[in-house]
Amino acid sequence: KNRSQQKPFILIQRKRMSESHCILLVQSKRSPASRTYSDYETVKEAMFGVITMFQSHLEDKFPTRRHIDYDVSDLFDYLDTFADIGCLVLQPSTLTYKPHDKEWIKAKVFLTLKEVQQ
């Protein structure tokens, strides 16, 4: 193998987990037909995707309101309504995806919101 083929692999290995590719898996109802996935370049983008999904839900629920206030517990309650939610995060060292559950997503969403407030 020449050096040009090895460089991309080395660059991928140096990425931090927060910069790793992430696939968000959502099953909104019991029916397997409700399964969807979203593809993100980073974990942080995926967490913003979760927040955006919740905000869209609120806009649908309260279409006449111009401003909707919520706190993190409301977002967590929303996540608890899903039959299942999880994500797969690329592990740069092995080039495999590690699964994470709803509680991990809640923790990452919380940290993301905390960063935005600072």
Asked whether the predicted pLDDT for residue 101 surpasses 80, the reply is: yes
* Length reported for the chain: 118
Q: Provide the pLDDT confidence category of residue 2 given band limits of 50, 70 and 90.
A: very low
Which DSSP symbol is given to 82?
S
* Angle, helix 72-80 to helix 102-117, in steps of 10 degrees: 160
Edge to edge, the sheet with strand 96-100 lists: 35-40, 22-27, 84-91, 96-100
Asked whether the predicted pLDDT for residue 4 surpasses 60, the reply is: no
For 87, counting Cβ atoms within 10 Å of its Cβ (0-12 exposed, 13-18 middle, 19+ buried), the class is buried
pLDDT in tens, 52-75: 999 999 999 999 988 998 999 999
Q: What is the pTM of this model?
A: 0.81
Distance CA 27, CA 79 (A): 10
